[in-house]
Amino acid sequence: MKKIAVTGPESTGKSAIAEGLSKYFNCLMVPEYARAYLEKLDRAYNFDDITEIAKGQAKLEDLVKKTEPFLFCDTDMLVCKIWQEYKYGHCDPWIENAFLTRQYDLFLLCNIDLPWEYDPLREHPDSRAELFTLYEAALIGANKPYVIISGEGDVRLQMAISEINRFCKI
């Protein structure tokens, strides 16, 4: 099974891409754990909550039986790593280690070319370029295989499908 992480800054279409890929390839998708976690929280989140989110995301991924050709992950350890570093100035060693050691066959880094959409859980409408640079630098620094996904609507999804087909030589 090829495990593909859909990653990138807020409001870049990660969920739509993961859902679209899951439907197109008729394979499983692991949803974004952070949204469910934060919607149940009755207080402002803190540093430790992001670590719990990362652990919850990893647990969801690990529960999937590896019987299908692909597993699409709507977010990954890199999102939690960048989130903690950007908001708090450092990253929990558990998240850092998980980012470096958890196996993904390909990262789809979603570009910031989509318009920002308000969501009460989003925080950085004016920092997407800076955050995108941090994501790409982390992927390069850890020597992770990635491609940048751009375009709006169906163009974005078709680009992701094409890159997966090219990467997997389908």
Mean pLDDT of 68-89: 95
Interval 114-143: pLDDT, tens:
988 877 778 887 899 999 999 999 999 999
Domain of residue 29, CATH code: 3.40.50.300
pTM for this entry = 0.95
**Contact (CB, 8 A) for 33 and 75:** yes
Residue where the block lists tokens 């680009």: 159
93: which 2 tokens? 């060693």
> Tell me, what's the pLDDT at 124?
81
Q: Is 125 exposed, middle or buried (0-12, 13-18, 19+ CB in 10 A)?
A: exposed
CB count in 10 Å sphere of residue 128: 19
- Give me Rg for the CA atoms of the chain: 15
What residues make up the domain containing 43?
2-168
Identify the DSSP state of 128.
H
Q: Which residue has the higher pLDDT, 107 or 1?
A: 107
How many distinct structural domains can be found in the chain? 1
HSE-up (13 A, CA, CB side) for residue 110: 29
**Contact (CB, 8 A) for 5 and 76:** yes
